[in-house]
Amino acid sequence: MRKIIILILLLGNITVGFAQNKFFTNYSELHIGNRMPNIKLDFKDSKSVNVVSFADLKGKLVIFDFWSTYCPDCVASFPYMEELQNKFKDKIQVILVNSVNSDEDINKLFENTLPSFKGKFIPRPKLPSIQGITGKNLLKLFPHLVEPFHAWVDPTGIVRLLGSQINSHNMDKISEVIEGRAVTFIDYNKNYNGKEPFFLGINKKLEILKSGSIITSYSPDLADPLGKIFENRIDSLAGTIRNSLINFRLVDLYQYAFSDHLKYFNKINLNANRTNQIVLFVKDTLNYSIAFKDFNKLTDLDLQKSSYSYESILPQKTPNSVRKEYMLQDLNRYFSYKLGAFGELKKIDVKCLVLIRTSNVDKLKAINTTRDVRDTLIENKAFRIYKGCEMREVIRTTIFDDENNPLLKDRILLDETFYQGKIDMIMPIILSKQHITLDDLRKSLIKYDLDIVEKTRLVERIVISEKIIP
């Protein structure tokens, strides 16, 4: 998920409460349990929304969906949010809030579907939308670090949930809030700073730990819900070195433990993501990662199910390779009993896409090594001009921006050109509902004496199998 950082300067305070005949004009941050003030709501399409102020929404669960044009997951979630509105009808009101983009930016977004939005055509949503000054005022009430961000105000006007959009994917949770029941949720604003060992946040009574490791379940109250890592933290007084991986999916923990062994593979694999580095022989992939499920169908329970924290504290001179080997032993020891899981490296024959050179003539060398990337139209077709770029950047951007392309999804793409130095290239980009095909790519590569072919390669991969370890 791409993170959008938003910095807010909040001035002044207000007394939180409804004022039936007067709109609030001063804003400060609201927290769980606060009452939503009766602010004026200016909707972009005011004719289709019979609402003037927040008081007009009393009796409904209101979900403020904060988004921006820079956030692909925000845009990709719009069809689901419309589905949610249609399902619960007048029991809820979903309101899209954009506090940063102009009308021109938003109109341009829905005129074209750019590669950064995963190659998927998303029509303009038919949901009430707030922008401009009202959007900025709502941002003051609900400041946040990451988008998409959702704020729920229950039918009585009380703020009940602030956090990740995947909270809204749980329809049972929505029903519980409508019925007035208490709910748990994932909050993106939690932030573990890594200055002290993570285990001290769990148990302050522990003495200084000289050596050891811990594995905990998902910890939404202590840290970033989507994962955070702190490596090689040295405590010179205690003579220790610490690695803290907080709220990581289980496959990511294994991937980190094996990372030194996969350095060369990751260097030549242009699609080096977790799903093609790891092979799972398991009953339920959601025990290991959320990557195997459609993001717009994920719930907070799915995230918790596959997430753990791992921390190791060892003598300062312990080599990194040894610390990762200890980590692997810890993971296999614990998860062999919890899930019957065991992770190891295996060499497997895999059908890969391979980028090759078809001649020794250099048709790639950059004229100027200063990096410059820009989009253009050539004969009414969209292209991206790369100057002074690395081969990896050009190929990855061209192919894997189209994440929903079934041809390329989770495929290993090996760079066997072994080209050194900066390059100049012109490559096609997606501006429609269509996916880039392998033929399209090969046609674009021909003039550079490049080609993509399918070959079988012996590839070292992380294999996690469920079996009982004696």
Q: pLDDT tens digits for 116-175? A: 455 567 788 889 999 988 999 999 999 988 888 999 999 999 999 988 888 777 888 899
Q: What is the pLDDT of residue 10?
A: 36
> Within 13 A of 117's CA, how many CA atoms are on the CB side?
24
pLDDT of 115 over the 60 cut: no
What ranges do the domains of the chain cover?
A: 46-178, 199-343, 359-448
pLDDT band at 400 (very low <50, low <70, confident <90, very high): low
For 297-305, what is the mean pLDDT?
83
- CATH for the stretch 46-178: 3.40.30.10
Q: Torsions phi, psi of 127, nearest 5?
A: -125, 150
Percent of the chain with pLDDT strictly greater than 70: 80
Per-residue model confidence (pLDDT) at position 365: 94
Q: With bands split at pLDDT 50, 70 and 90, how would you rate the model's confidence at 6?
A: very low
Q: What is the pLDDT of residue 150?
A: 92
pLDDT for the residue numbered 120: 61
Model confidence at 8: pLDDT above 80: no
Confidence of residue 42 (pLDDT cuts 50, 70, 90): confident
pLDDT for position 102: 87
pTM above 0.85, yes or no: no
Query: How much is the mean pLDDT over the chain?
Result: 82
Q: Which single residue is written with the structure tokens 């941050």? A: 29
Mean pLDDT to the nearest integer, 282-292: 89
Q: Once rounded to an integer, what is the mean pLDDT over residues 331-357?
A: 93
- Average pLDDT of the segment spanning 70-91: 89
CA 162 to CA 4: how far, in whole Å? 16
Q: What is the mean pLDDT of residues 206-226?
A: 75
- Which pLDDT value is given to residue 128? 92
